[in-house]
Amino acid sequence: MRYILTSVTVFLLIGSLMAQSERGIDIVQKSSGVFIYRYAETMEQIDPRKDFLSRRQISDAAVITDLKRIMADSAGYTPDFKARCLPVWDLGIEFRSGTETRMYLFSFRCNTMKSVEENLFKDFTPQRTDLYALLQYEINERTSIDWR
C-alpha cells in the first residue's frame, strides 16, 4: 500500500512539473559581458552563436576598453564599400548587456566586418591592425575566461 501511495505521489509531482514546463515558464538568464568567438575556416554559411571553435568572455577591463575604442573608431569610417572577396569569418565579438546583444563578425582576409543583427557589411581597413593585434595577442588565459 505504501509503495502505491509513493508511486502515485511521484506520478502527480512529475505531471505537475511537466504541465509547468508546457506553459513556457522557463526563464533563461543571459550573461552580460564581451565575448570573443573563433571560427573554423569555411566557405559555408555559419550560425555565429553556434558554429564556433571556441568562445571566451573577456574579463580584463583594459582590453574591453581598447576593444570598445576600436569599434567606436570603426563606426565613424564609411568608405564606399564594395566587397572584393567572399569573407571567411575568423573571429566574432559579441557585446551583451541585459537583454540587448550586438554581434560583429570579422574576416581579416577581406577586411570585412559584418553586423549580425543588422546584416550590414563594412570595410574596417583602418582598424584592422589594432583589432588583429588585440584579438590575437591580448585575448589569453590572463585576460579572458573560457566560456563553453
For residue 70, is pLDDT > 50? yes
**91-122: pLDDT as tens digits:** 999 999 888 899 999 999 988 899 999 998 88
**38-55: pLDDT as tens digits:** 999 888 889 999 999 999
pLDDT average, residue stretch 83-97: 88
In whole angstroms, give the CA distance from residue 29 to residue 34: 16
CA dihedral 92, 50, 61, 99 (to 10 degrees): 110
Residue 133 identity: A
- The pLDDT value recorded for residue 79 is 61
pLDDT average, residue stretch 125-143: 89
For residue 16, is pLDDT > 90? no
Q: How confident is the model at residue 83 (pLDDT cuts 50, 70, 90)?
A: low
- The pLDDT value recorded for residue 125 is 85
Q: What is the mean pLDDT of the chain?
A: 79
- The pLDDT value recorded for residue 6 is 44
CA dihedral 61, 49, 134, 113 (to 10 degrees): -120
pLDDT average, residue stretch 58-87: 81
